[in-house]
Amino acid sequence: MKKNKGRFHSANEMALKHGSWNDNAVSKAIAARLQEENEKGIEIGFGNLCKSYETLPERLPSHQGIEFDSPLEDFLSCIDAGYYPAPEIMVAISRCFNSYLAAKGDISLDEVFFGDRHSKRKSFAYKKHKTGWSSEYVLFEKWLKLAEGNSMEKAADQFLSKYFPHLDVDSFLRGYRRFKSGQ
């Protein structure tokens, strides 16, 4: 990540300190800069995001005031819930991707978003896949609880035919057992 004396200077300083633009303190610095630009009537680039964002329908009360661990999780949660992310979240995520592209392959997305180089099993994506709703094995565990009385093979056959018809039951169950054992 290179040092930037431009528009988001204070946010850039924080990003350098935290190792990533994917940090709540960084996104708050971005929000402060965007607010300052709005107050001064500056309408360039990301400043227009603020005006657009203000015209959107208000979020449901159950989705207001939620704090996430990082701008990335905020971004993903907004998209999953059908909301536009706040401008500072979009700027932070945009800066992460810009850093990734500017590095020309010298750093991974995990490094850009989380500041650390690590093995696959310690990566954010791997951890989320192991516990999140994107994992077919996590979904299958929920299915198993609802399919009481069925054998694992029968439950897997029903689950796969409904949600993943392209997967083979035996292969899926081998993968599921590896998933359960932590391999």
Q: Is residue 104 part of a domain?
A: yes
- Reported as a single tens digit per residue, the pLDDT across 66-80 is 888 899 998 988 888
In a shared domain, residues 109 and 26 = yes
In a shared domain, residues 107 and 28 = yes
In a shared domain, residues 106 and 138 = no
- Contacts by residues 179-183 (CB-CB < 8 Å, ≥ 24 positions apart): 179/130, 179/135, 179/137, 180/137
Q: Is residue 76 part of a domain?
A: yes
In a shared domain, residues 31 and 109 = yes
Tally of domains within the chain: 2
- What is the C-alpha separation between 2 and 8, in angstroms, rounded? 13
pLDDT on residue 173 = 93
The larger pLDDT score, comparing residue 92 to residue 47, is at 92
**pTM of the predicted protein model:** 0.58
Find where tokens 């690590």 sit: 118
Give me the helix-helix angle, 136-146 and 152-163, nearest 10°: 120
Q: Is residue 177 part of a domain?
A: yes
- Reported as a single tens digit per residue, the pLDDT across 91-150 is 999 999 988 888 887 788 888 888 877 666 666 666 665 555 556 787 888 888 887 788
Mean predicted confidence (pLDDT) in 52-68: 77
Three state DSSP letters for 77-133:
HHHHHCCCCCHHHHHHHHHHHHHHHHCCCCCCHHHHHHCCCCCHHHCHHHHHHHHCC
In a shared domain, residues 52 and 111 = yes
In a shared domain, residues 16 and 106 = yes
- What is the C-alpha separation between 56 and 58, in angstroms, rounded? 6
Q: What percent of the chain has pLDDT over 90?
A: 25
In a shared domain, residues 13 and 72 = yes
Q: Is residue 1 part of a domain?
A: no
Mean predicted confidence (pLDDT) in 30-43: 85
In a shared domain, residues 158 and 76 = no
In a shared domain, residues 98 and 173 = no
Range of the structural domain that residue 151 is part of: 132-181
Mean predicted confidence (pLDDT) in 29-52: 80
- What is the C-alpha separation between 183 and 181, in angstroms, rounded? 6
Q: Is residue 157 part of a domain?
A: yes
